[in-house]
Amino acid sequence: MKYRVFVTLKSGVLDPQGEAIRHALGALGFEGVNSVRQGKMIELDLAETDAAKAEDAARQMCEKLLANTVIESYRVEPA
Amino acid sequence: MKAAVITFPGSNCDRDLAMAFEQAGADVTRVWHKDTALPEGTDIVGVPGGFSFGDYLRCGAIAARSPIGAAIAGFADRGGHVLGICNGFQVLLEMGLLPGALLRNAGLKYICRTVALRVETTDSPFTCAYGEGAELQIPIAHHDGNYTADADTLARLNGEGRVAFRYGQNPNGSMEDIAGILSENRRVLGMMPHPERAFASIHGSTDGRTMFDGLMSAFAPA
């Protein structure tokens, strides 16, 4: 089973990199970019064939390592 | 005092930290990240600065889950003393031994310079040798030192006097100018500035040495 994990800073946590990207877009002439939030995407290829079990495992991976839940939230999607 | 200094792949302040402990008079053992136990009789663990595991995923994230990480967490749970400096602070936060997180510096730049630090509490073995409110000159060298925590955590840290150091002039966007914090039992300290780099007169400041001398006196046999 393949999954995509999206890890982003929680809303309310300042994203200095997102802000820098927003400024750079403005400098390139892209107007009206109200906000930019950046994060990371992680692809997982799991041997487990049971979708429920595989997704549960992916979530546990997020809780234990892939995301720092103090500042980040995550989303798991089938790939 | 028996000190154990950890080395992860990418640590680069481990020798400096070991030397600081040694010159203060401690017995120092160097410990590799794949070791699963700390040396018998360890009094304090030093988690050094650097770029453990290349800062992959998040600074300190992989090191926090390394074999020696579990041993350090167990040691701290049993009341052991732990000093995490710079990347070591990031590791302790990722392990959950201290609350909050460190984000990318607000100015997005890696900052390497000596800064003024204010001692916020002398009630810890790390800060006992400083004067209350003393101002120190200690170098920082980091890209991700922007301390963040939710309002409840900040209130608790303030209320319990667990902010050990604040910056005189905030270099990185850190909430409430926080540069270092203590655990609830005051035996775990995480800080971004490098006391081991302000140890000898050749460093330009010896304000960091006071921390190691204070630790030695805290551990001196009664």
The minimal CB distance from B108 to the residues A20, A64, A71 is found for A20
Which two structure tokens, joined as six digits, stand for B86? 């710079």
The minimal CB distance from A70 to the residues B57, B101, B107 is found for B101
| Cβ pair A68:B58 closer than 8 A | yes
Element (H, E) at A74: strand A72-78
pLDDT, average across residues B33-44: 97
| Lookup result for tokens 């074999």 | B67
Q: Is A60 on the interface with B (CB under 8 A)?
A: no
Residue in B55, B66, B97, B104 to test binding to A, most A beta-carbons within 10 Å: B104
How confident is the model over B152-187, as pLDDT tens digits? 999 999 999 999 999 999 999 999 999 999 999 999
Count of Cβ atoms closer than 10 Å to residue B70 Cβ: 14
Strand runs labelled E in chain B: 2-7, 27-32, 44-47, 81-85, 101-103, 111-119, 135-142, 146-148, 163-167, 178-182, 188-191
Q: Say if CB B63 and CB B49 are below 8 A apart.
A: no
Active-site residue (options: B33, B81, B86, B203) = B86
Nearest residue on chain A to B104, alpha-carbon basis? A16
Alpha helices (H) along chain B? 14-24, 61-64, 67-77, 87-95, 151-159, 209-218
Range of the domain at B87: 2-218
The fraction of chain B above a pLDDT of 70, given in percent, is 100
Given a cut of 80, whether residue B201 has pLDDT beyond it is yes
Q: Are strands B27-32 and B2-7 parallel, antiparallel or unpaired?
A: parallel
The fraction of chain B above a pLDDT of 90, given in percent, is 98
How confident is the model over A35-49, as pLDDT tens digits? 999 999 999 999 999
What is the SS3 assignment for A76? strand
| Cβ pair A14:B148 closer than 8 A | yes
Tell me the Cα Rg of chain A: 16
How confident is the model over A2-60, as pLDDT tens digits? 999 999 999 989 898 899 999 999 999 999 999 999 999 999 999 999 999 999 999 99
Which two structure tokens, joined as six digits, stand for B97? 């031994």
Task: List the CATH number of the domain containing B164.
Answer: 3.40.50.880
The domain total for chain A is 1
For all residues of chain B together, what is the average pLDDT? 97
How confident is the model over B118-131, as pLDDT tens digits? 999 999 999 999 99
The domain total for chain B is 1
Q: Please give the pLDDT value at position B220.
A: 87
Distances (CA, A) of A62 to A5, A43, A46, A75: 8, 12, 14, 9
Size of interface A-B (CB pairs under 8 A): 36
Q: Please give the pLDDT value at position A44.
A: 98
In B, which residues are within 8 Å of A68 by CB distance? 58, 61, 94, 101
Residue A28, C-beta contacts closer than 8 angstroms, at least 6 positions apart: none
What is the SS3 assignment for B125? coil
How confident is the model over B72-83, as pLDDT tens digits? 999 999 999 999
Q: Please give the pLDDT value at position A14.
A: 87
ipTM of the complex: 0.87
In B, which residues are within 8 Å of A64 by CB distance? 65
Q: Report the alpha-carbon distance of residue B10 to residue B53 in Å, rounded.
A: 6
Q: Is A71 on the interface with B (CB under 8 A)?
A: yes
Residue B191, C-beta contacts closer than 8 angstroms, at least 6 positions apart: B84, B85, B86, B89, B164, B165, B179, B180, B181
DSSP B104: P
Nearest residue on chain B to A20, alpha-carbon basis? B108
Given a cut of 90, whether residue B147 has pLDDT beyond it is yes
Task: List the CATH number of the domain containing A65.
Answer: 3.30.1280.10
Closest to B205 measured CA to CA, from B104, B101, B115: B115
The reply to whether B86 belongs to the active site is yes
Range of the domain at A41: 2-78
Which two structure tokens, joined as six digits, stand for A30? 């892209």
Q: Please give the pLDDT value at position B56.
A: 95
In B, which residues are within 8 Å of A9 by CB distance? 103
